[in-house]
Chain A
């Protein structure tokens, strides 16, 4: 489904990703953990072609991702991305946010786009907020609209970039719940998060990123019960 081969990324002189190789199979939920600035978000952004890579290859469902080609648009249609800061379009209603790309990218007739958008918003528990503008929604509701917006495109892979980090603590649960439902429904997901409880409950596999490299990876239980890498041990201790 997703494969990274020896991916390197520089921001100017800063060597952010130092040879990342990983694979994610269909239906798998992989959680990426690590300290701030370790490069975990950059991995997601490269997978979606929001950042270009300088070395290595990223393959999504058989297609090579090249941030500079027109082709990258087709890959993006198949990869849903949910951002830390929601990034809803402020002058569209919840329904408008979800249906916009269906209409203009997927070229669906408005009625069909609306139907799908309604279904997606219902799925994330917002059937009563269809006509609300983003500034009338709480952070948790906005993030759920953003998830619905990505889901509506019927992606094969969903990327979540610290989607609960900007939320008030009491709103985190409702977003994680939606993500857990999604995982249980068999969606392939790569999740960057600091929510260790969520990682433990939902992840099939954990990747620990340290200074731009995968310092340790393994099944969820093993990572939490018996971490080998001393940076990972320190990280887990500092979080729990």
Chain B
């Protein structure tokens, strides 16, 4: 057996798995918080009558979707510290991830809302529903079904996107892989393993979404 593999031990695998846990944690945090932002942004973007809301949300989306996530994290951590505001590491990486999620998911929410035929909203209005009731009981059941595939697509991107947390010194999965490969020189093995772990996170997500889609379709 070649010498380079001997240095690679179960400790390194544990180290990678620790990185994976951080990756999952960052992702779960960014997604769950980002979803609230997205809901707000999506509703604002879909507001047909209030132009100011649409404009504000539109600008937000363009900025956070049109600039690299890495740059956003850089500014949050290093940029603001130059201005005298030193954000804690966790905040400096979480806030951009959440806002980034909010921008992308916001567009998915908007598309879901706008895909509802106008007549269905009018039917809701004509029955005396409030805006909130209309959204909750008429728009959401259809919109959520439309949103599932693009949401999973985004989530998979997000899992990989959290690797940028290394910018502020977090050792998530990709960074852990880099460190292990540097110390063991088992580059191919390590990154194959890292890839496999990413796949192990993402593939169940895809499967779950397919199941969910199929289950919801039965009631169509």
Q: Which A residues form the contact surface with B (CB < 8 A)? A: 48-50, 73-74, 76-77, 79-81, 83, 85-92, 100-101, 104-105, 133, 135, 146, 149-150, 153
- A100 to B137, Cβ gap below 8 A? yes
Closest beta carbon of chain A to B123's beta carbon, Å:
4
| Interface check B62, CB cutoff 8 A | no
The answer for the CA separation of A150 and B141 in the assembled complex, in Å, is: 21
What A residues does B123 contact at CB under 8 A? 81, 83, 87-89, 146, 149
A77→B128 contact, CB < 8 A: yes
Further 18 A-B residue pairs, CB within 8 A, beyond A77-B127, A105-B127: A48-B126, A49-B125, A50-B122, A50-B126, A73-B129, A79-B126, A81-B126, A87-B123, A88-B123, A89-B137, A91-B145, A91-B220, A101-B127, A105-B128, A105-B129, A133-B220, A146-B123, A153-B128
With a cutoff of 8 Å between Cβ atoms, the chain A residues found around residue B127 in the complex are 76-77, 100-101, 105, 149-150, 153
Say whether A83 contacts B122, CB under 8 Å.
Answer: yes
Residues B119 and A85 in contact, CB atoms below 8 Å apart: yes
A74-B125 CB under 8 A given contacts A91-B219, A104-B137: no
* Bound-state Cα–Cα, A229 to B13, Å: 90
Q: Return chain B residues, CB-CB under 8 Å to A87.
A: 117, 119-120, 122-123
Listed from nearest, the 10 A-B pairs whose CB atoms lie closest are A77-B128, A81-B126, A101-B127, A87-B123, A87-B119, A91-B141, A76-B128, A105-B128, A73-B128, A104-B133
A88, B142: Cα distance in complex, Å: 12
Question: What residues of chain B have their CB less than 8 Å away from a CB belonging to chain A?
Answer: 117, 119-120, 122-130, 133, 137-138, 141-142, 145, 219-220
A-B contact pairs, 19 of them (CB 8 A): A50-B122, A50-B126, A73-B129, A73-B130, A76-B127, A77-B127, A83-B119, A83-B123, A85-B117, A87-B122, A88-B123, A89-B123, A90-B120, A91-B219, A104-B137, A105-B128, A105-B133, A149-B127, A150-B127
Q: What is the bound-complex CA distance between A136 and B145, given in angstroms? A: 19
Neighbouring B residues of A92 by C-beta, 8 Å: 141
Q: Contacts of B130 on A, CB cut-off 8 Å?
A: 73
Cα A86 to Cα B141 with chains together (Å):
18
Most buried by A among B117, B126, B133: B126
Roughly how many angstroms separate A88 CA and B220 CA in the complex, as a whole number? Answer: 12
Most buried by B among A77, A80, A105, A133: A105
Distance of A116 Cα from B127 Cα, bound (Å): 15
Please pick, from A73, A91, A133, the residue contacting B142 in the complex, using a CB distance under 8 A.
A91
Pick from B120, B128, B138, B220: contact of A135, CB below 8 A.
B220
Residues in B with CB closer than 8 Å to A88 are: 123
Separation of A101 and B127 alpha carbons in the complex (Å): 6
Contact B126 A89 (CB under 8 A): no
CA distance A73 to B129 in the complex (A): 7
Closest B residue by C-beta to A48: B126
**B129 in complex: contacting residue of A48, A49, A104, A149, CB < 8 Å:** A104
A85 to B120, CA, bound (A): 10
**Distance in angstroms between the alpha carbons of A77 and B127 in the assembled complex:** 6
Q: Is B129 a contact of A89 with CB atoms below 8 Å?
A: no
What distance in Å separates the Cβ of A70 from its nearest Cβ neighbour in chain B?
Answer: 9
Residue pair B138, A133 in contact (C-beta under 8 Å): no
Q: Looking across the interface, which residue of chain A has its beta carbon closest to that of B119?
A: A87
Q: Which of B137, B142, B145, B220 has the most CB of A within 10 A?
A: B137
In the bound complex, do residue B120 and residue A89 qualify as a contact, i.e. CB atoms below 8 Å apart?
A: yes
Cα-based distance from A101 to B119 in the complex (angstroms): 16
Q: How far is the CA of A2 from the CA of B122 in the complex (A)?
A: 21
